[in-house]
Structure 1
Amino acid sequence: MTASRLLARKSIETLQRQNRDNGMRKVLGPLQLTLLGIGCIVGAGIYVMIGPAAASYAGPGVMISFLIAGAACSLTALCYAELASAVPTAGSSYAYCYAAMGEVYAWTLGWLLMLEYGLAGSLLAVGFAGYLTSLLGDFGIHLPAAISVSWLQSSVANGHISFHRSGGFNLVAAGALVCIAAVLVAGVSKAAWVNTLLVAIKIAVLASFVAIGVGAVDVQHWVPLIPPNEGGFTYGWQGVLRASSILFFAYLGFETVSTAAGETANPQRAMPIGILGALGVSTLIYIVVAAVLTGIVPFRELGVPDPIAVAVDRIGHPGFAVLIKIGALAGLSSVLLVNGYGHSRICYAMSLDGLLPTAFARLSTRFRTPWIGCILVCGISAVLAALFPLSILGDFVSIGTALAFIIVALSLMWLRTTRPDIPRPFRVPLGGFRIGRVWVGYIPTAAIVLCVAMVLPIALDIVDSARHGNVLPAAILGGYACLGVLIYSFFGMKSARLVREAASEDGQGIPESA
């Protein structure tokens, strides 16, 4: 093993050629990309994780948590916009990192993205199951806990989290992911059409919730805005920051937009519009809905997978409650759809590079979609949704998201340093300075600092939990990291080398050396 092999970079020209000749249909424009991003962003954060974030950590201060998380993501979004305009490719941040920093960093980022997207799909499906169970209950149909509750459950007491077995498996959540896999296999144009419809329903229902719910707001529920700290990360400013780290992943949708470059017409123009537009609209929606939700229901009662269902039941209009729950299901469906789309496309890009088995890049002859990858990623997420609770899933997704964003910001600065000649239709504002040969941007540096601030509370919480005897989160993270090292060492490294050699023999472009 040599440093030159580990740090071999994929040339920008190779990425651009693969994007042109990938065999996928280029049918997406700025509007579709913006809706794609909104479809993924506006969902888990407002429909699912806002409840546990408010109940266990931030109280009404969850509105501030959304602002903090949104600020961190907005800086990273600017980095994504520049990279997507300069290097339009289906691999998203993984491909950017491969071009800028080299193979081993690209594998690390790709492995983090698989954690991020895979567990995000599981979390979304758990939330979907909660809302579906609540909706069916309104019609007198009560699903047994044995098929609608995850095998492992969690609780927070005295600032510490503990786990217990429920005896059931969340088959409802698993079934939702099976349906999503079927839609994804059918093709991006069909998935985009379904997503556009679901986004329209979701936005209309959330607007109705705000319009009707604002009359039921009790401002006393916002007092105090930040409850006094009760130890650890339970309330206080510590809790606000901890909640922002949980909600951080809820902005994942803007990253998903960049995974669609392989199926986008004129990606240099469309990508920045789609990324920044989706983030701006979604942040505004999050803050407004969070204010209304915490004004209707005392925050300690929101620790459930279907917090908006709790709020509409509290308002006391049964017909409206049913409408909102249907909208929530539509919203979560759109996020599940886009999340699965992004996950399968990242696996597709890694497979083309030899870092994952070739099955992930095999296209359906009928639909021209990576059908095996779609089925595999949704299948794994379905199993995890049946087993794990929101608390574990949310923390792990946020860790993967924050670390991936840090690597993206570093990739931007290194690509500015090594390839200043690449046309960049969009550039991050404010510029930067040089330390020797290395370009250091103000925006990317600020993004890194805020991402570290997002992941630090989760890391400290996991360490603290392990000290108090709850080693499960630390063990899962450690096991996942070790598995990634083994796969890269015994498969990815050799397979990627063979792909590079084949590309060299075909004259299609050789990855650059470090």
Structure 2
Amino acid sequence: MNLWKKINRKEDPRVYEQKDGQLVRSLTVKDFLALGVGTIVSTSIFTLPGEVAALHTGPAVAISCVLAAIVAGIVSFAYAEMAAAMPFAGSAYSWINVVFGEVWGWIAGWALLAEYFIAMSFIGSGISANFRALIAPLGLKLPAALANPFGVHGGVIDLISIVSIFLVSLLISHGVSEASRVENALVALKVLAILLFVIVGMTAIKKANFIPFIPHYRATANGPFGGWQGIYAGVSMIFVSYLGFDAIAANSAEAKNPEKTMPRGIVGSLLIAVVLFVAVSLVLIGVVPYQKYLGSAEPVGLALRSIGRGTIATIVQTIAVFGMFTALIGLCMSSSRLVYSFGRDGMLPKKLGKLNSDKRPNNALWTITVVAILISAFLPFSFLTQLVSAGTLIAFMFVSLGIYRLRPREGADIAKPAFKMPWYPVLPFLGFLGSLIVFMGLDTQAKIYAIIWFVIGLIIYFSYGLKHSVMNQKN
């Protein structure tokens, strides 16, 4: 077999059915809705709309939210069909391995790994920063050496971030059903906090703050502001908040009745998230002129205090800190299932693809935990955060195009799913095109980081994965 044929060989879906069939199927629609909403509606809903409005869109931030949601929604249909037809661990990695071939599956999976690693570390750091801000009025303060990553403001390690990631991993190691119960409770609490802000804020909305709704375009040091150029820039920033639905798909091998559970969880969680994002965006702008959010790390708190609701601001921000754990749980679960699938296929050491006596991929879980802790505790990684968007958008493009390869095989060697992406063959192309347009809207630095990340991934594939792939045993 020549090299081209070898790297494009496709995995038999029956192999994944047999291997992943050992995982415990315990997650329901309610669990996946909580997992999706908890991951999508993370700390960004409390900060990002105000930042985007001040930097790029003005009051039109709500339009950016809706446009980003339309693109994410189209892709979510592709994810729903893939997950219903192939409920395997590893989501896009496993699906692309089946429909396109090994090297393309690895590229898609490697793209998602960037999202999971960096987002876990970023959220751990966010929990740390917000928790320290909450305890500061009580006179409690960590020494700088334990409060920040190495080299940042005199930091050595970020202790709270380490503890947060470790505790979440410990929870998940006892089973996804236990983790889901905690996730469900925290998501309900977080949604109540968001609704509290929206209801209280609606009483103080000023119509003048929405005029003009789309400011005139002008170039600024931060990029385009106003006009459709500013809205487009806002879409690229907001889009990162909607990426959490792929975390649902990564756990599809542990879903009860996945043909129905997965589409409802994926599409439903995104719909809930969009409504919450648009509501928060409109209330933020209505309460305080968008210019005041420039440089603010806590737009929701700023808005509530500006109308004399300081106590409610404290309540919402306190719940927001605990709510960040929902995203950490979702990302930790999905990343461990992705790394498990790498080990299952021999792309990384096979020990990572082993299940323990309780049928849990804890080797992969603790490996992910160690790496995320190292990034979060010791590395000033803020410049890498754009890899989250760049890597995941590439995976989205693969999944959208993968529908064209999936359809002819449904009912043959792949089960015919109960859910299918509507308006085929037009909608899969629009999902690919929309993801490409958002990707092109990222800045040059993000694209350079993405290229570097993929070069590293290809080096690993050709030096290790290609040699140790379990598909070599079939040849």
Q: Which amino acid aligns with 2:460?
A: I
1:286 aligns with 2:277: yes
Which residue number corresponds to residue 224 of structure 1? 212
Measured at CA, do residues 200 and 25 of structure 1 come closer, stay the same or move farther in structure 2, by a change above 3 Å? same
Aligned pair count? 466
Contact 2:117 2:372 in 1 (8 A): yes
Q: Shift in Å at residue 240 of structure 1? A: 2.1
Q: Secondary structure at the match of 1:230?
A: strand
Report Cα offsets for 1:193-245 as digits up to 9, x if no partner.
Answer: 11011111111111111111222333433333344423362312323222211
Contact 1:355 1:488 in 2 (8 A): yes
Q: Secondary structure at the match of 1:89?
A: coil
Contact 1:39 1:195 in 2 (8 A): yes
| Whole-angstrom distance in 2 between the partners of 1:381 and 1:39 | 19
Q: Which amino acid aligns with 2:455?
A: C
1:182 aligns with 2:170: yes
Measured at CA, do residues 290 and 173 of structure 1 come closer, stay the same or move farther in structure 2, by a change above 3 Å? farther
Which residue number corresponds to residue 111 of structure 2? 112
Report Cα offsets for 1:318-366 as digits up to 9, x if no partner.
Answer: 432221112211221101111111111011111101111123223333x
Q: Which amino acid aligns with 2:427?
A: I
1:495 aligns with 2:468: yes
Report Cα offsets for 1:436-462 as digits up to 9, x if no partner.
Answer: xxxxx211101111111111121xx22
The TM-score with structure 1 as length reference comes to: 0.84
Measured at CA, do residues 199 and 12 of structure 1 come closer, stay the same or move farther in structure 2, by a change above 3 Å? same
Which residue number corresponds to residue 66 of structure 2? 67
Contact 1:121 1:378 in 2 (8 A): no
The aligned runs of 1:395-410 (5 Å cut-off) are: 395-410=386-401
Q: Which amino acid aligns with 2:444?
A: I
Contact 1:45 1:250 in 2 (8 A): yes
1:234 aligns with 2:232: no
Q: Shift in Å at residue 140 of structure 1? A: 3.9
1:428 aligns with 2:421: yes
| Whole-angstrom distance in 1 between the partners of 2:245 and 2:48 | 18
Q: Secondary structure at the match of 2:466?
A: helix
Q: Which among 483, 486, 506 is matched to residue 456 of structure 2?
A: 483
Measured at CA, do residues 384 and 224 of structure 1 come closer, stay the same or move farther in structure 2, by a change above 3 Å? farther
Q: Shift in Å at residue 255 of structure 1? A: 1.4
Indicate the percent of aligned positions where both proteins have the same amino acid: 28
What's the C-alpha RMSD, in Å, of the aligned pairs?
A: 2.4
The aligned runs of 1:32-71 (5 Å cut-off) are: 32-71=31-70
| Whole-angstrom distance in 1 between the partners of 2:461 and 2:381 | 29
1:350 aligns with 2:342: yes
Q: Shift in Å at residue 418 of structure 1? A: 4.9
| Whole-angstrom distance in 2 between the partners of 1:406 and 1:120 | 20
Q: Which among 399, 403, 407 is matched to residue 412 of structure 1?
A: 403
Contact 2:64 2:238 in 1 (8 A): yes
Measured at CA, do residues 60 and 383 of structure 1 come closer, stay the same or move farther in structure 2, by a change above 3 Å? farther
| Whole-angstrom distance in 1 between the partners of 2:269 and 2:417 | 21
Contact 1:127 1:305 in 2 (8 A): no
Q: Which amino acid aligns with 2:380?
A: F
Q: Shift in Å at residue 419 of structure 1? A: 5.0
Q: Shift in Å at residue 48 of structure 1? A: 4.0
Report Cα offsets for 1:119-164 as digits up to 9, x if no partner.
Answer: 1212222332332233223434345665445568xxxxxxxxxxxx
Report Cα offsets for 1:398-429 as digits up to 9, x if no partner.
Answer: 11111110000111111224556341211111
| Whole-angstrom distance in 2 between the partners of 1:63 and 1:388 | 32
Contact 1:39 1:335 in 2 (8 A): yes
| Whole-angstrom distance in 2 between the partners of 1:40 and 1:206 | 15
| Whole-angstrom distance in 2 between the partners of 1:337 and 1:7 | 34
Q: Shift in Å at residue 5 of structure 1? A: 0.8
Contact 2:31 2:180 in 1 (8 A): yes
Q: Shift in Å at residue 294 of structure 1? A: 2.9
1:194 aligns with 2:182: yes
| Whole-angstrom distance in 2 between the partners of 1:126 and 1:58 | 27
Report Cα offsets for 1:178-200 as digits up to 9, x if no partner.
Answer: 22222222221111111011111
Contact 1:19 1:261 in 2 (8 A): no
| Whole-angstrom distance in 2 between the partners of 1:148 and 1:221 | 38
Q: Which amino acid aligns with 1:500?
A: M
Q: Shift in Å at residue 305 of structure 1? A: 4.2
| Whole-angstrom distance in 2 between the partners of 1:261 and 1:350 | 16
| Whole-angstrom distance in 2 between the partners of 1:489 and 1:207 | 50
| Whole-angstrom distance in 1 between the partners of 2:106 and 2:420 | 26
Measured at CA, do residues 122 and 294 of structure 1 come closer, stay the same or move farther in structure 2, by a change above 3 Å? farther
Q: Which amino acid aligns with 2:138?
A: F
Q: Which amino acid aligns with 1:175?
A: V
| Whole-angstrom distance in 2 between the partners of 1:78 and 1:209 | 31
| Whole-angstrom distance in 1 between the partners of 2:14 and 2:154 | 53
Q: Which amino acid aligns with 1:192?
A: S
Measured at CA, do residues 414 and 108 of structure 1 come closer, stay the same or move farther in structure 2, by a change above 3 Å? same
Which residue number corresponds to residue 253 of structure 2? 262
Q: Shift in Å at residue 99 of structure 1? A: 0.7
Q: Which amino acid aligns with 1:209?
A: F
Q: Shift in Å at residue 171 of structure 1? A: 3.8
1:369 aligns with 2:360: yes
| Whole-angstrom distance in 1 between the partners of 2:372 and 2:149 | 13
Q: Which amino acid aligns with 1:462?
A: T
The aligned runs of 1:78-89 (5 Å cut-off) are: 78-89=77-88
The aligned runs of 1:454-473 (5 Å cut-off) are: 454-458=438-442, 461-462=443-444
Q: Which amino acid aligns with 1:271?
A: M
Which residue number corresponds to residue 274 of structure 1? 265
| Whole-angstrom distance in 2 between the partners of 1:285 and 1:417 | 38
Q: Shift in Å at residue 85 of structure 1? A: 1.1
Q: Secondary structure at the match of 1:346?
A: helix
Q: Secondary structure at the match of 1:234?
A: strand
Q: Which among 326, 341, 355 is matched to residue 333 of structure 2?
A: 341
Contact 2:88 2:252 in 1 (8 A): yes
Contact 1:246 1:394 in 2 (8 A): no
Q: Pick which of 199-208 and 287-296 moved more.
A: 287-296
Q: Shift in Å at residue 479 of structure 1? A: 3.4
